[in-house]
Amino acid sequence: MWSRISSALKPREGNDSDPDHSDAQSTASHSQPDPFHTDATTYYTHQSPPTPPPGAHSRTASREEDMIWSLRTQLALQQEMCAQFEVDLGARDELVEALTIRLDASEKENDKRKSVLRSWKKKAADLEKLCRHLEEEVDNSRQESMERSIMDEASGEALRQLHRQISQLEREKKDIEAERNSLVQTVGNAEAEIIRLRENLDTDEDDGEEVFQLRDQISRLEREKSEVEGQRNSLAQAVEKADAGISQLRGELSATDEASVEALRYLQSQISQLEQEKTDLLVERDALAQAKERADAEVLELQEANREALCRLHDQISQLEREKSEVEAERNGLAQTMEKTEADVLRLNDELGVTNEASTEAQRRLHDQVSHLERAKADVEAERDDFSSEIARLRAHIQQLQKKSADMEVTIVQLNKQLDQDKEDIGGLNIALESKQQELELVKRKHGVRSTVGSTSGRTNSAPPVPGKHAVPPSTVLRASAVGPQTSSHAPSRVPSTLGRAANTRPPVSGALRRASGSNWESKTKLSNRRLSVTSTPSETDEKENASTPVPLKHPRRSMVLA
């Protein structure tokens, strides 16, 4: 991060700060087509050199423009980085908020589960209490049933005793009735005896002593009769009392039997009901025990899940805190970097304040641009659109120029071939000229004619050179500079006369040609160093060079004098 900031803060050197220059270079570098591509627009023929890259228009940018562009780039980079870090911080804050919301939701769910667990525990405790209460009731019912069974046994014993008493009283009643019957029979016998005695008394009135005895016996029998009647009455009363006691005992026994039967039925129904309730309670207790076990298992699972969720949340919170601390550290570093950048800007402003009026004006524009950076953003976008349209137009123009350069390359190849042919012709003519001069010297020697080489060579050298009629335009020279030496910008001079020249004197044609080719090579080298402008408007240097360059002829003339 710091390396990117430092590399962005470094000012660009040379003409890199010039947008036109950078766009031209990028266009020239990226628009170079592949001649072997299927969509290639250049012409490629056998034994023809590849098209050299077109020269880019160079414009010397001022130091103030370099500083302005570098500061613009730095401010744009800082704003973009600040916006990116703000977006990153906002995203992380949203993540922290989302995790906090999830943590709160998990805590609320944990609280709900704890409350549900507490309610389940309360229900389990209530059910345990109810089970204990029911067990106590079952024990009480068992104890009551045992007591009732004991009471039933006691009541049965009492009933048996009552039955024994009743049977005893019935036996006594039978004895009393038998005794009463015997007494009644005795009384009847006594009455019959009394009647017989009275009859005897009526018949035997004469016997006085027997009468007195009989009277005494009658009185005695009457007394016995009265006593027997009294006993009979007492026995009748006793029998009546015994009957009343028996009837009472029978009523009590029947009532006791009915009550004991109803009590037994009630106790049996209560026992069956309690046993049913006991079975239901046992089943419910088992179900509650299973539910409690399931609730305990769910509680353990929930506690384990809550512990894991809390651990994960704590880990995420710690990681977010670490990331937040890192972001804070990066923010502090960016703040320090921005402070350093602002200090550099202030220092650069101070340096700009020391410069001349142009730098002062540039500094004022810089401050205006810095202060109105937000408003200038739309202008920058518009300029970028203009630049993109301009780049598209330049690309189209470059394609047209490439097509033209392909045509010019074909022309240059043809001219080079013609030049080679001309050179071969000149070489042949020079050889023929030398042979003719040698023959002429031989003829002169034979005839003894005086040589006139000095006057002829002096006249030839004193002749002014013919201006070049075969000059090549600058673009052609540029295209042909990589191929090899071209034709001279001046036309070849007339071949001087060789009359009067010594035999050992060589003609100066080859040296003149070499000098002409050397001067032509120097001129072409100077012309090749010039860069063509990529823009539509040529610079002053291009206009001067175009003005000083002669217009080339379509077909160069061959001017040569044969001896």
Question: Distance (Å, rounded) from C-alpha 266 to C-alpha 259?
Answer: 10
Q: Worst-scoring range by mean pLDDT, 178-187, 321-330, 363-372, 376-385?
A: 363-372
Whether residue 460 contacts residue 433, with contact meaning beta carbons closer than 8 Å, is answered with no
Q: Which long-range CB contacts under 8 A does 429-436 form with residues at least 24 apart?
A: 429/495, 429/560, 429/562, 430/507, 430/509, 430/510, 432/562, 433/495, 433/498, 433/507, 433/509, 433/562, 433/563, 434/506, 434/507, 436/498, 436/563
Q: 205-264: per-residue pLDDT in tens?
A: 555 566 667 667 777 777 777 777 777 777 777 777 777 777 777 777 677 667 767 776
Q: Worst-scoring range by mean pLDDT, 46-50, 83-87, 278-282, 538-542?
A: 538-542
Question: Distance (Å, rounded) from C-alpha 490 to C-alpha 519?
Answer: 10
Which pLDDT score, from 0 to 100, does residue 72 have? 85
Whether residue 152 contacts residue 186, with contact meaning beta carbons closer than 8 Å, is answered with no
CA atoms within 13 A on the CB side of 238: 16
Assign 461 a pLDDT band (cuts: 50, 70, 90).
very low
Nearest C-alpha neighbor of 78 from the set 130, 4, 128, 28: 4
Which pLDDT score, from 0 to 100, does residue 104 have? 86
Q: 9-40: per-residue pLDDT in tens?
A: 444 444 444 444 444 444 444 456 566 656 65
Asked if pLDDT for residue 465 goes beyond 50, the answer is no
Which pLDDT score, from 0 to 100, does residue 424 have? 92
Longest dimension (CA), the chain: 270
Q: Worst-scoring range by mean pLDDT, 270-274, 327-331, 360-364, 487-491?
A: 487-491
Asked if pLDDT for residue 431 goes beyond 90, the answer is yes
DSSP string computed for 221-281: HHHHHHHHHHHHHHHHHHHHHHHHHHHHHHHHHHHHHHHHHHHHHHHHHHHHHHHHHHHHH
**Computed from CA positions of residues 56, 59, 60, 66, in that sequence, does the dihedral angle turn out positive or negative?**
negative
Question: Distance (Å, rounded) from C-alpha 167 to C-alpha 250?
Answer: 11
Judge if pTM exceeds 0.85. no
Whether residue 34 contacts residue 363, with contact meaning beta carbons closer than 8 Å, is answered with no
Q: Worst-scoring range by mean pLDDT, 137-151, 281-295, 538-552?
A: 538-552
Which pLDDT score, from 0 to 100, does residue 56 have? 55
Burial of 167 (0-12, 13-18, 19+ CB in 10 A): exposed
Tokens 């709900």 belong to: 112
Task: Write down the domain spans for the chain.
Answer: 412-532+541-548
- Mean per-residue pLDDT, 376-387: 76
Tokens of 307: 């512990």
